[in-house]
Amino acid sequence: MRYSIMLALAAGIPAAGHAQDTDASGPAMSYGQRPAYLVDKLPEGELKDTLGACLGQTPERTEFSIGHRGAPLMFPEHTVESNVAAARQGAGILECDVTFTEDKQLVCRHAQNDLHTTTDILTTDLASTCVTPFQPASGDADATAECRTSEITLDEFRTLTPKMDAADASATTAEAYLGGVAPFRTTLYSDGAQLMTHAESIELFRSLGAKFTPELKAPSVEMPFDGMSQEDYAQMMVDEYTAAGVPPEDVWPQSFNLDDVKYWIDNTDFGAQAVYLDDRYEAEDEDEGLIDPNDPATFKPTMQELADMGVQYIAPPLWMLLTLDEAGEMVPSAYADEAKAAGLNIITWTLERSGPLSGGGGWYYQSVADTIDNDSDYLTVLDALAQDVGVVGVFSDWPATVTFYANCMNL
């Protein structure tokens, strides 16, 4: 409760003893400077004219804009502060990636084994719990470590200090290893950042006027874990929404594991909006094969088969949804066309995660890299996803950009 009361005051909304009594409108919103900066970089044309005419509009919260771990372009991910920033940027849906501690308590972390890059654990007494202790860089070998939430209790987790997700592979000390923040990110907003449990994220997000998209993260430990099966784990996550009185229509539970999605569909009230995070493009099982976004024969199960299972939402990365036509213009991929034909709602990830786009955008833009040459392409890609593909939501590391576009286009 201390999280929501303190942050409600900081965000300019009423604090209350119960989250359901708070003002659902959330904190005052602002686009900040970045959307205008990106619009200024656009080439002359219809998109620039349309978006430029919206620069003076008043921001409104939109479910099209989804905070990816909050607003981690500048704030430590999965912290109170990162999510308050995302809500202030108009994100209508916020994300807690869910994993568990040694005492089977649910907490917000992008991975069960990321504490060595997202917290100060290596410089605390809890470093002794790491499954791979810090090993300094030596010769051609990079510095390494691996620290898991499953090795510590919730009380121990609460003692950690979050930081920007980064590691310095050339480090020879644990202190130096905690650095390595990408130059397009910042440590300016890290001081005093606070970790959250999953239950605390529910309380906070509701106080901020946002809805919920928790992702059940793949365990790094063998399941069952201390008697907890994968199904128990999936059930525990949605049970925390039921306990908080959150209606299923306000929740989009996610997983890369199709079995988790099918479990929610078949056994809970939260299945109608369960999101299949499709990562079959990098399948390790040779028998399963890799998805070619332009070859429907590789979509196994097919989009229609997914729909027949009860899946209504699918969420691939940006590049899976776009391709280039013979004229070099961005158009929907066969994957996108097949998903729409099967009646699937499409959500995609992750805008504003790649830093400057002058070099082609990297992994997230690989299918359209030949057209990516400056930061205004965040908006051209977003426009193609919204207008041509017809996505219903976009995860972003800086939600203001998506909020601005959605507001301008009345999405």
Residue 289's pLDDT is 73
Longest dimension (CA), the chain: 61
182: number of Cβ within 10 Å? 12
94-142: per-residue pLDDT in tens? 999 999 999 999 999 999 999 999 999 999 999 999 999 999 999 999 9
Let me know if 80 is exposed, middle or buried by CB neighbors in 10 A (0-12, 13-18, 19+): buried
List the chain domain ranges. Answer: 2-98+106-111+186-408
Tally the C-alpha atoms within 13 A of residue 112's C-alpha that lie toward its C-beta.
Answer: 20
Chain centroid to Cα 323, Å, comes to 23
Q: Which two tokens stand for residue 303?
A: 């989009």
Helix, strand, or coil (residue 171): coil
Residue 337's pLDDT is 98
Asked whether the CA dihedral 96, 97, 99, 101 is positive or negative, the reply is negative
d(CA 411, CA 407): 6
- First vs last C-alpha separation in the chain: 34
Of 27, 30, 93, 24, which Cα lies nearest the Cα of 58?
Answer: 30
The tens-digit pLDDT sequence of the chain (411 residues) is: 444 444 543 444 433 333 333 345 689 999 999 999 999 999 999 999 999 999 999 999 999 999 999 999 999 999 999 999 999 999 999 999 999 999 999 999 999 999 999 999 999 999 999 999 999 999 999 999 999 999 999 999 999 999 999 999 999 999 999 999 999 999 999 999 999 999 999 999 999 999 999 999 999 999 999 999 999 999 999 999 999 999 999 999 999 999 999 999 999 999 999 999 999 998 765 566 799 999 999 999 999 999 999 999 999 999 999 999 999 999 999 999 999 999 999 999 999 999 999 989 999 999 999 999 999 999 999 999 999 999 999 999 999 999 999 999 999
* Fold that domain 2-98+106-111+186-408 belongs to in CATH: TIM Barrel (3.20.20)
Residue 13's pLDDT is 40
Determine contact, residues 208/84, Cβ cutoff 8 Å: yes
Taking only Cα atoms into account, the Rg of the chain, rounded to an integer number of angstroms, comes to 21
316: number of Cβ within 10 Å? 24
Residue 26's pLDDT is 85
**Per DSSP, what are the bridge partners of residue 276?**
255, 314
Residue 77's pLDDT is 98
Q: DSSP assignment, residue 121?
A: G
Residue 287's pLDDT is 60
Helix, strand, or coil (residue 347): strand
Residue 18's pLDDT is 30
Residue 359's pLDDT is 87
